[in-house]
Structure 1
Amino acid sequence: MSIFGDQHSLPGGLVHPGEDTATALARELREELGLDTAALPDPPRLRRVQDQLTTRPGRDGVFHRLHLVHVLRVPLTVRQDLASVEIDAEDRTEVAWTDVVRAAGLHLYPDVGQALATSSGPDADAAVLLPPMTDLTCRWR
């Protein structure tokens, strides 16, 4: 925790060369949480897209990422068998499950909390393009 408070991060990672988005998502969730997306009642649904173009403290250059935020329905019976700490994190980061409404009140990375809780919730048909994260809109904690 920093002097600014906690920052919560969504599970995620990079797409490997030759990998499509769905495969990358399934791989990252398996690597980080031990979650098999094939065991879910519904496939992950793309809900938000956000471009990030920022500088980072202690690093040179511009940090550029395109965040594809998916919402998953993970039944309690599946959730209870998942890792309670991120499996591939060196610091063994604690995993905390929450619904999209509660997530709106957290300092999330990427900065999508408020947008997740808006009218096009998990049952909406189309993903929403969010305003980009920039040095003016994002503060690293």
Structure 2
Amino acid sequence: MTLNVVSVTVDLVLLTIRQAALQVLLIRRGIPPYPDRWALPGGFVLPGEDLGEAAARELREETGLDPQHGHFEQLATYGTPGRDPRGRVVTVAYLALLPDLPSPVPGSDAAGAAWRPAAEITPGELAFDHDRILADGLERARAKLEYTPLATAFCPPEFTVADLRAVYETVWRTRLDPRNFHRKVTGAEGFIEPTGGTVIRDRGRPAQLFRRGPATLLHPPLLRQPAPQAQSSRVGGTSRSSDL
């Protein structure tokens, strides 16, 4: 039996919130295949390197940060024949969610790197099958905000309820009722806990500071409500509305 030679890569869906928008880190490819096309950051797994180690290495190279500074998880595996014109390449994608990050510096094989608003990326714009990987990563992030404390990965160590609501509104692309949101997040056991401090924000009013609590699942969950309009054609996905 002849064995097919398969190469393995890792790709990163790296999301952050910048300028009040959910943004994804993209690199402009400087080498074939797909030169000058935007793509997700990633690379081949080195000999003797575990998948998680390879993804963490790529994250450090692209951002200078350790995965422990945010949320980091394996997203999915993609191995459709022909997805990479160089040969049989299977990629394992990882989702990373981190607080506001600085402007990226491209690696040696990239022509550029930039944060791009996820909602502005159009289908077919990215190299390989990275449109699909990005769409899967965005939906994973949006869905996990419903039943886990994942939204706090976009926040600094101490934050206000308004800061947290801004994360939900940005990721879900909707507006939330402030009173209902405050009631639900403070009522979800172990979601957030007060630090005892306050900060002066809008209109000079002190706002209570919170930190992430010990919960790993939200009880009850914070559910999205389907939007009445048709689904968007952009990779960024749909807009939704909620009275949360």
Please indicate the TM-score interval, normalised by the length of the shorter structure: 0.5 to 0.7
Identify, as 1 or 2, the structure richer in helix: 2
Considering Cα pairs closer than 8 Å and 6+ residues apart, tell me whether 1 or 2 has the greater RCO.
1
- Percent identity over the alignment? 28
Report whether the alignment pairs 1:63 with 2:110: no
Q: 1:102 to 1:114 in 2, by over 3 A?
A: farther
- Of the two, which has the highest radius of gyration? 2
Counterpart contact for 2:73–2:94, Cα < 8 Å: yes
Amino acid in the other structure paired with 1:89: S
Counterpart contact for 2:60–2:66, Cα < 8 Å: yes
Report whether the alignment pairs 1:111 with 2:129: yes
Match of 1:33 in 2: 63
Give the TM-score normalised by the residue count of structure 1: 0.57
Give the TM-score normalised by the residue count of structure 2: 0.36
Counterpart contact for 2:77–2:92, Cα < 8 Å: yes
Superposition CA RMSD, Å:
3.5
Q: 1:46 to 1:104 in 2, by over 3 A?
A: farther
Q: How far off its partner does 1:104 sit?
A: 4.9
Match of 1:7 in 2: 37
Match of 2:53 in 1: 23
**Displaced runs of 4+ in structure 1, greater than 6 A?**
none
Counterpart contact for 2:75–2:92, Cα < 8 Å: yes
Gaps of 5+ in 2: 1-27, 29-33, 145-244
Gaps of 5+ in 1: 57-61, 126-141
Amino acid in the other structure paired with 2:58: E
What is the aligned length?
111
Match of 2:74 in 1: 45
Q: 1:99 to 1:70 in 2, by over 3 A?
A: farther
